[in-house]
Amino acid sequence: MLLSVAAFAEDTVAVATPEKPKKQIYYGTQVKFDILSPILTPALHNWQMQHYEVAVNVRLAKRWYPTFELGYTGGKTHNDSVNYIGHGGFFRVGCDLNPLKKHPESPHALLVGLRLGTGMQQFDTNRFHADCWGEIVAGCQVEIAKVNNTAFYMGWMGRFKVLFTRKGDNTPIYIPGFGSRDNIGWGANYYLGWKF
């Protein structure tokens, strides 16, 4: 009898104290393709340059977006005294924050963040060169459609770039992922992508 009462008391306590729900950290992965640069870069360089890039980010704790960007640039360009023929790849790593505090669960986001970029290239047929830079980025993204667990997005990103490597002898005048070799650069992307 005493054992039955004790067992009943334990069951009652277990029912009275439900487990706390686990806090969600991961909110999905996005893959985004830049559709502006393949048009804008050739237009600015007499249709002699190509530029393609893709971005992947992960949404964590509703407001944080660690990001990896990868791309390719190649072709011909020139300044007043130098012709450039080359091609190479680049990548950027960083993180974005959605600073909007109201409705953090919304799929739409205003984004501000930082990037560290590296471009590596072959130019003048047999020379290799690498450069490094930092970026401050700002933009937005909106969900335009959703099918089951897959959401489709569009958005833009503006970039302010600061080159860390300096010009030396035999350095190329164009840097994949950065642009023309200046201490300061600007850039923009317009993305289409999906979240899964």
**In this structure, are residues 51 and 45 in contact, taking their beta carbons and an 8 Å threshold?**
no
- The residue with tokens 């104290």 is 17
pLDDT tens per residue, range 52-72: 999 999 999 989 999 999 999
The alpha carbon of residue 34 and the mean position of all alpha carbons in its chain are separated, in whole angstroms, by 10
pLDDT at 9 over 90: no
pLDDT tens per residue, range 156-166: 999 999 999 98
Task: Go through the domains of the chain in sequence order and give each one's CATH number.
Answer: 26-195 (2.40.160.20)
Nearest to 71 by CA among 149, 179, 195: 179
Query: pTM of the predicted model, to two decimals?
Result: 0.83
